[in-house]
Amino acid sequence: MALLQIAEPGQSQAPHQHKLAVGIDLGTTNSLVATVRSGVADVLSDAEGHRSVPSVVSFSADAQPLVGQRADELTGDTSSVIRSAKRLMGKGGLDLADSWLSDHYKFDTSSGSLPAFVTQAGSKTAVDVSAAILSQLRETAEQSLGGDLVGAVITVPAYFDDAQRQATKDAAALAGLNVLRLINEPTAAAVAYGLDNDEEGIVAIYDLGGGTFDISLLRMQHGIFEVLATAGDTSLGGDDIDNALVGWLLEKAGVSKLDDEQASADVKRYAQTVKEALSAADSVAIDWRFSEGHHVSEQLDKAAFNDIISPLVARTLKPCRQVLRDADIEKSDVRAVVMVGGSTRVPMVRESVSDFFGKPVLTSINPDEVVAVGAAIQADILAGNKPDNDLLLLDVTPLSLGLEIMGGLVEKVIQRNTTIPITRGQEFTTYKDGQTSMAVHVLQGERELVDDCRSLARFELNGFPPKAAGASRIQVLFQVDADGLLTVSALEKESGVVASVDVKPSYGLSDGEIERMLRESMENAGDDMQKRLLQEQRVDASRVLEAIGSALDADGDEHLTHDERDVIDKLIVALRDCQESDSREAIKKAIHDLENGSSAFVERRMNASVRKMMSGQGIDNIDSSAWTRSEKIDDTSV
């Protein structure tokens, strides 16, 4: 019997015209793949009928990796069964100290800054683990759709930084996937939810997944989804709720820590079962025994469960407050709150978020599948299957991007929450006479000092003509593409000398660093500004000392008496002595004293220069020269 595919009028497409593209939700706990068929986005099932794949990979020495359900159900030695690897995407060895993963797995950090899980099949990075999951999803899609994929849209947490996004693209490349675009998980949810419900206005996307939390505010109108602001916590999710329950069980059993890997996996799985049961029931009978003499048998009601997880739920509300401040809106301006992620099924989560925003939360779309569905809709558009579609996604940069300038200060070129893709340039100049190269240090963060921001990349612009300090014009261009990845280039305008770098940041962003950076930027805003002003004053002092020193070396003996030189030398010493002090006013006064004390010397040098320039010229030429110089000065000042 033939199977007919029926579509709504105007939605069907000829098979030879339809390009196979998918949306992938690469999650910490579970992953999904979805596609658009006959105008409808749906999650694809694997050969065993599972719509979601546990983000679990088992590596063995003599067989191909097991992915998903089969890996998740393994018993015995589970040291090579890797879970929650997404937490280490784009992270470095220093992050292991703050990660619960270090309590469950052995890591190899000998190969560099990128940590690797020690497995029976050798060392495997988080990128390797993610690539295995993506390969499984690709195979599921190609078997279901009956052909090769032209590409995929892969979702990432809104607060993934450049290193984490690049790690995701690296995993996709290893899995043989062409990445059409990376989009933020909240944005993908908005695509699915907005199209299905025809919402307009400002919407909050509360996304509490297995390992990450994001809150985004989006303005949705006439097919345009614009992210107004985003915040979150990259080390908070359903895993932490499970771990809190595990901690409660261990406390009740009188055990501080489980050394056995199998026992750890068993209690984690039991905690997940308890959590899911309490999402529907008022209480659950606990009957857990993991060894002789360690048995927990009691009733856990919803109130006690809420007490256990309340600190975690409260942590999600802090970014909610922050994102409202960033977007400069009130809670009353938020029209709807969309719940995304399996952990939002927990009643306390829904109640707390509803109370915070003062309105019922929306849960009509399956919170586990909405991200994959939105990614599939976007993939269908990017593959060219809907050329007349006017859907437009406008994501934002999660942190400001800038450059190091003199004094260890940061000059922000692209501010955080700027809509991407974006290209923005800024002109800089040289600091010293005769300078023919410039070091470009790219930074990410909200603080005023380089030491308080994250270094992304360094490169040099070499070989431009030597000029007086401040005469060269160097344009630095920042380009952030639709995936949030950054390219920085520098151009010396007169010579055309150019240098650039594609920023693939070094791994090593610590857990919650982005959130910490944002929080500290607000807490230290006043102090940071005072430090910046102080550093700028110190830079001014360096410029004055450089200029006076060069002039004295050139012809100080010619224009100064011994006593006059002695006065200037003492003023130079006074400025140098207070240059590193914490008193901006003292430095400013010392600069003023040195400028006043050397004014006669500067005037004599200028007069000597003018006499030399006019030497041997007739009066007509002198007048003309003076008039031309005046015109140039006027033009410059204008």
Express each pLDDT in 312-345 by its tens digit.
Answer: 999 999 999 999 999 999 999 998 898 998 889 8
pLDDT of 523 higher than 60: yes
Q: Which helix (H) or strand (E) holds 394?
A: strand 392-396
Q: DSSP secondary-structure letter at 449?
A: B
Of the two residues 346 and 417, the one the predictor is more confident about is 346
> What phi and psi, each to the nearest 5 degrees, are found at residue 503?
-80, 105
CA distances 300 to 253, 285, 287, 307, 450, Å, are: 14, 6, 10, 11, 50
What domains lie within the chain, and their CATH numbers?
16-237+309-395 (3.30.420.40), 238-308 (3.90.640.10), 397-522 (2.60.34.10), 527-637 (1.20.1270.10)
Of 595, 577, 404, the C-alpha closest to 488 is 404
List 185, 214, 448, 515, catalytic entry:
185
d(CA 462, CA 251): 62
pTM value?
A: 0.58
d(CA 86, CA 277): 26
pLDDT of 513 higher than 60: no
Q: 276 with 368: CB under 8 angstroms?
A: no
pLDDT of 280 higher than 70: yes
Predicted pLDDT of residue 29: 85
Q: 182 with 484: CB under 8 angstroms?
A: yes
Cis amide prior to 421 (ω within 30 degrees) = yes
Tokens of 50: 């599972």
Look up tokens 């100290």; give the residue: 97
Q: DSSP secondary-structure letter at 44?
A: P
Helix intervals (H) in 481-583: 513-523, 525-559, 562-579
Q: DSSP secondary-structure letter at 99?
A: -
pLDDT of 11 higher than 50: no
Q: 130 with 171: CB under 8 angstroms?
A: yes
**Max Cα–Cα distance, the chain, nearest Å:** 110
β-partners of residue 299 are: 285
Q: DSSP secondary-structure letter at 509?
A: P
Of the two residues 98 and 4, the one the predictor is more confident about is 98
Q: What is the pLDDT of residues 37-60, one digit of tens each?
A: 888 889 999 888 899 999 999 998
Q: What is the pLDDT of residues 485-511, one digit of tens each?
A: 788 888 888 888 888 777 654 433 443
d(CA 624, CA 598): 31
Predicted pLDDT of residue 563: 81
161 noted as active-site residue: no
Predicted pLDDT of residue 112: 58
Residues 6+ apart with CB under 8 A from 412: 400, 401, 402
Predicted pLDDT of residue 458: 83
d(CA 606, CA 621): 20
Q: Strand 179-184 relative to strand 56-60: parallel, antiparallel, unpaired?
A: unpaired
List 207, 214, 226, 242, catalytic entry:
207
Q: What is the pLDDT of residues 145-170, one digit of tens each?
A: 999 999 999 998 877 877 788 889 88
Of the two residues 466 and 483, the one the predictor is more confident about is 466
Across the range 161-187, mean pLDDT stands at: 87
Of the two residues 198 and 362, the one the predictor is more confident about is 362
Predicted pLDDT of residue 307: 93
d(CA 440, CA 116): 31
List 25, 95, 492, 515, catalytic entry:
25
25 noted as active-site residue: yes
302 noted as active-site residue: no
Predicted pLDDT of residue 518: 56
List 86, 124, 275, 412, catalytic entry:
86
Least confident of 261-265, 347-351, 365-369, 455-459: 261-265
Across the range 426-445, mean pLDDT stands at: 82
